[in-house]
Amino acid sequence: MRMTFSEMEYRGGSSPKHHWLESERDIVRRDYDGTNKSAQLIAENLSHMTGECVTLNAVKGQVSKLGLAIDKSRRWTPKETDALTEMITEYAPLTIAKKLHRSVNSVVLKSKRLGLSRRVRNDWYTQKEVCEILGVDHRKVGKWIEAQELKASYHHGHKPQKNGSGYWHIERKDLRDFIQNNSHGLVGRNVDLFQIVDILSYS
């Protein structure tokens, strides 16, 4: 049985050294706000996500290496800011970063400074959003839904059609359960780890 973060953090003996992925460093860039509390939350979220013990000191080590107190992003233009404001409620930070040719860290920091909410809806997702989060195409998500591996319902009772009318309604808790049960099949370089961490922290 998988141990909780507290059990991993405080058990006797030393923990194996965590080997950091660049996607995990992006999470540190996104969530660290200069406080020990934020570093602790990052450690807990990454521990739950990876099944390894990511300690507070390990996170602080990455904070130091990444020089997070320094914002090296180029200045945002009014046109880019308008585009960010328009896209932030529809797309994940990873997608916005690609569209604006910026780093994910730059997108997240700018949205925080503007006080923009990354999602209007926090309790459910469309099939398109799930595709972006899990890094797969709509056919694969459709097969998961058809096989009842991923629970989904008709939005407002209208069955999704090939012409795009109607769409799937996927509850956050059901997406969380799917990710937990199928994490072995998700390809790390394609998934949106920012969103996955948020989803896995849902209770």
Q: In sequence order, which ranges of the chain are alpha helices (DSSP H)?
A: 5-10, 22-31, 36-50, 56-66, 78-87, 93-100, 104-113, 127-134, 138-146, 172-182, 193-200
Clarify whether residues 89 and 59 are in a common domain.
no
Mean pLDDT of the chain: 78
Does residue 72 fall inside a structural domain? no
Q: What share of the chain in percent tops pLDDT 70?
A: 77
Does residue 119 fall inside a structural domain? no
Clarify whether residues 138 and 186 are in a common domain.
yes
Q: How confident is the model at residue 7 (pLDDT cuts 50, 70, 90)?
A: very low
- Res 13: pLDDT: 42
Clarify whether residues 38 and 99 are in a common domain.
no
Does residue 158 fall inside a structural domain? yes
Clarify whether residues 190 and 147 are in a common domain.
yes
Does residue 40 fall inside a structural domain? yes
Clarify whether residues 161 and 196 are in a common domain.
yes
Clarify whether residues 130 and 191 are in a common domain.
yes
- What is the per-residue DSSP string for 12-70? SSPPPPP---HHHHHHHHHH--SSHHHHHHHHHHHHHHHSS---HHHHHHHHHHHTTT-
Helix, strand, or coil (residue 165): coil
Q: How confident is the model at residue 83 (pLDDT cuts 50, 70, 90)?
A: very high
Q: What share of the chain in percent tops pLDDT 90?
A: 18
Clarify whether residues 109 and 128 are in a common domain.
no
**Pairing between β-strand 153-154 and β-strand 124-125 as defined by DSSP bridges:** unpaired
Question: pLDDT at residue 6 above 80?
Answer: no
Clarify whether residues 155 and 181 are in a common domain.
yes
Number of domains in the chain: 3
Does residue 95 fall inside a structural domain? yes
CATH of the domain at 158: 1.10.1660
pLDDT tens, 120-175? 566 788 888 888 888 888 889 999 999 999 999 987 666 766 655 557 889 989 99
Question: Does an H or E element contain 169, and which?
Answer: strand 168-171
Does residue 71 fall inside a structural domain? no
Q: Model-level pTM greater than 0.75?
A: no
Clarify whether residues 82 and 62 are in a common domain.
no
Q: Which amino acid is at 88?
A: I
Angle, CA 117 vertex, CA 115 and CA 123 arms, to 5°: 155
Clarify whether residues 184 and 159 are in a common domain.
yes
Nearest to 71 by CA among 37, 100, 39, 110: 110
Q: Which amino acid is at 42?
A: I
Clarify whether residues 134 and 154 are in a common domain.
yes
CA distances from 150 to 61, 88, 142, 201 (A): 37, 26, 9, 18
Clarify whether residues 60 and 128 are in a common domain.
no
Query: Which residue range(s) make up the domain with 27?
Result: 5-66
